[in-house]
Structure 1
Amino acid sequence: MPDFTWTGWLLLALAAFAVGASKSGMPAFGTIPAALFATVLPAKASTGAVLGLLLVGDLIAVRMYHASADWAILRRLFPPVVVGVLVGVVALRFADDSAVRRGIGAILVALVAVRLLLMLRGRASGGAVAAAPPGRRRLAWLFGPLGGFTTMVANAAGPVMTLYFTASRLPVSAILGTAAWYFLLVNAFKVPFSVGLGLMTPQSLLLDLVLVPALLVGAFAGRALARRLSPVRFERIVLVLTLAAGLYLLIRG
């Protein structure tokens, strides 16, 4: 077991809590675990450690929302996502920790920027939802490779895929079910690559096992918070925290 400081353990526990919350109804938490893990662990090793926790969270999400998945969307989406994952594997194979850390930071900052632009656009249009681009297959090839790359390199594809599911005009229940199965299948697909790259190891799995209780607490808390907390206020807080984490990783390099 790695010998972390108490601050390091606290950050990892918060990251595990965020994984559970993001999978049980608070998807805005989804970008936080990658940033916290990359702060405590070497950047490349952090991707494998987060992946083990994400798989546990995915099983919880599928148990909650499995019945409402849109399998036509999933079948259409998987090939372009595979392309993005393979590009991410190449990036992780040749990049060093500093480059991966900066890459994770840049991805987080970019995702925050995209979300802010969409919020401003929605406000300018009176809250109306923009029409989906014509052709779901073209939409899949627009978002799929980006989602595959961001999930392989930074485990931070949540915002990208939420935009895709929303643009596909899925109802809320279908978004939850489709996203649950999507992330379980994609994260499971990433496991052999993470093992082959030396990112998912017996040590990282042991660390994940220690952090599972914090993840379970986050899952229960996320479901409760989703029913009580103002989504707008909550998302603003998470965007600020994610932006701060992304900038920190960029500057730390």
Structure 2
Amino acid sequence: MELFNQHSGLWLLGLATALLATGLVAGVLAGLLGVGGGIVIVPVLYHLFTLLGVDESVRMHAAVGTSLATIIPTSIMSSRAHRKRGSLDMALIQRLMPSVIVGVLIGSVASRFLSGASLTAVFASVALVVALNMAFKRDGFALRDGLPGPVGTAFIGSGIGGISTLMGIGGGTLSVPILNALRVPMHTAVGTGAMLGMVISVPGAVAFLLNGLDVPLRPPFSLGYVNLLGMALIVPATMATTGWGAALAHRIDAKRLRQVFAVFLALTSLRMFYGLA
């Protein structure tokens, strides 16, 4: 509670407003891009925790854990919205799900031993690579038609699950461009990414909650590395706006959707690299 006592009521009101605004934007992005909102939530929480004076050793862990927890209801609503519009490919999900879960477990264990700076570097680096790929990818470019064999699919799924867990994102950030490069239609890739977000966020959030139990210097109102105050303010906003994003996704052509995706990733990456400087 000492962190909050250092600031005025007006400052705390501004914090609450910022968290609500984060939830609104994250909800729209969850439906629009299938990213679960984590690509927005993680850096915003990181900077808010910085303003609050949360120790650097736990700052990024708390941002990632809280983000994964908020993604759970958002990804459920986003998946339902995309399924109604026929943009969920259950066959793809069934092939990817086992290895994605294995990747989440690997990422959860690794997060226990990585420093906050290491988590930040992972987030910024992967986000920038994906953004560049999406921005400069040539129309019609593809690695192959459909997922590879069992070994290749396991490698892709575990990579999506593990890296997404370390970044605190729902999986769409990686699964959307990967699936699109395998000639999966963009809208189907976005819908499938939303469903994978649910597969990643549930075990990922539980792992960060358990990893952070009894760890000192966490933000107030935290259960493990999950900040309950952030969840209470972000989740309702994301749940209210996810449907807007899903509806908007079906009114934008694939090229424009890819450009929007790339811009958000690039801006997020640059912000996180700036924090490491």
Give the TM-score normalised by the residue count of structure 1: 0.78
Which residue of structure 2 lines up, in the alignment, with residue 162 of structure 1?
176
Match of 2:223 among 198, 201, 224: 201
Which residue of structure 1 lines up, in the alignment, with residue 55 of structure 2?
none
Which residue of structure 1 lines up, in the alignment, with residue 124 of structure 2?
105
Task: Between 90-99 and 45-54, report the one with greater CA deviation.
Answer: 90-99
Measure the CA separation in 2 of the matches of 1:151 and 1:91: 12
Query: Residues 230 and 11 (structure 1 numbering): CA distance in 2 closer, same or farther, change over 3 Å?
Result: farther
Query: Residues 169 and 236 (structure 1 numbering): CA distance in 2 closer, same or farther, change over 3 Å?
Result: closer
Q: Which runs of no fewer than 5 residues in structure 1 stay unpaired?
A: none
Match of 1:128 among 140, 147, 151: 140
Measure the CA separation in 2 of the matches of 1:238 and 1:71: 23
Q: Which runs of no fewer than 5 residues in structure 2 stay unpaired?
A: 5-10, 50-58, 214-221
Query: Residues 129 and 13 (structure 1 numbering): CA distance in 2 closer, same or farther, change over 3 Å?
Result: same
Q: Which amino acid aligns with 1:151?
A: S
Q: Which structure has more helix as a fraction of its residues?
A: 1
Measure the CA separation in 2 of the matches of 1:247 and 1:165: 25
Q: Aligned pairs, how many? A: 246
Structure 1 residue 141 and structure 2 residue 154: aligned?
yes
Q: SS of the counterpart of 2:145?
A: coil
Q: Which amino acid aligns with 1:94?
A: F
Structure 1 residues 2-36: Cα deviation after superposition (integer angstroms, max 9, x where no partner): 74656644543343223312332333766333222
Measure the CA separation in 2 of the matches of 1:235 and 1:11: 27
Measure the CA separation in 2 of the matches of 1:64 and 1:155: 22
Structure 1 residue 60 and structure 2 residue 38: aligned?
no
CA positional deviation for 1:70? 3.7
Query: Residues 15 and 238 (structure 1 numbering): CA distance in 2 closer, same or farther, change over 3 Å?
Result: farther
Q: Which amino acid aligns with 1:201?
A: L
Aligned-pair Cα RMSD in Å: 3.2
Return the structure number with greater relative CO, CA threshold 8 A, min gap 6.
1
Aligned residues with identical type, % of pairs: 20
Give the TM-score normalised by the residue count of structure 2: 0.73
Structure 1 residues 184-206: Cα deviation after superposition (integer angstroms, max 9, x where no partner): 12222223312211287286234
Which residue of structure 2 lines up, in the alignment, with residue 86 of structure 1?
105
Q: How does 1:206-245 map to 2 (within 5 A)?
A: 206-228=229-251, 232-233=255-256, 235-245=258-268
